[in-house]
Amino acid sequence: MFRAKGVTGTGTLEIISAAGAPRGSMYHHFPGGKSQLTVEALRFESARVSADLQNLIDTGSDASTILVSFTEALATSLEISEFRLGCPVTTAALELSSEDPEVRAVCAEAYRTWQSMIEALLLQRSSKSDQAAAAADAELILATIEGGLLLARAYQDTNTLRRLVGNLCRILER
């Protein structure tokens, strides 16, 4: 629900209803209420994205192939959802990072994890051998993918996302 409507756009009663759970059960499992649920949902989604990326890394393909495959999966997910389901971490970061320090910390940790995974990928499977250059490129790649997802939702078109990642891959191959 958070991926489609955002955290602020999703009501507590709506969450309880969608879960088919009694009202009190949410507060039993999440005594911190919606804020705690948000943090746990973000951790879950972050781990899911990390696992998806790791599964691609485990194929042994080169960095460009992995990045294209990863982005293609994200683009396909956007298209299937009719552009309603973006990155939940970005959605939460945009909505709540100035209001909820714990949400901000979880979002930052997710981004750091993904950036670290991309950096390691670049060092292992591309022509990058310099740690600082790989770190800078990983940050650029993550920001480009996240920005591309936002543009794809706004444009209702994934071609920009695919084009951006294609451009990044050309840069990586230099």
Along the 174 residues of the chain, how does pLDDT read in single tens digits?
A: 566 666 666 667 676 676 677 777 766 677 777 788 889 989 999 999 999 999 999 999 999 999 999 999 999 999 999 998 888 899 889 888 788 899 999 999 999 999 999 999 999 987 778 899 999 999 999 999 999 999 999 999 999 999 999 999 888 777
Domains of the chain in start order, with CATH, are 1-173 (1.10.357.10)
Quick one: angle between helices 33-57 and 63-80, nearest 10?
A: 130
Q: How far apart are CA 47 and CA 115, in angstroms?
A: 13
Q: How far apart are CA 122 and CA 172, in angstroms?
A: 9
What pLDDT, on the 0 to 100 scale, is given for residue 68? 96
55 CA to centre of own chain: 15
126 with 63: CB under 8 angstroms? yes
* Spatial CB neighbours of 24, under 8 Å, sequence gap ≥ 6: none
Two tokens, residue 72 = 């293609």
Q: How far apart are CA 12 and CA 109, in angstroms?
A: 25
What pLDDT, on the 0 to 100 scale, is given for residue 7? 67
pTM for the whole structure: 0.85
Amino acid at site 94: L
Query: What are residue 83's phi and psi, to 5 degrees?
Result: 65, 20
Q: How far apart are CA 128 and CA 8, in angstroms?
A: 41
| 38-144-83 Cα angle (round to 5) | 55
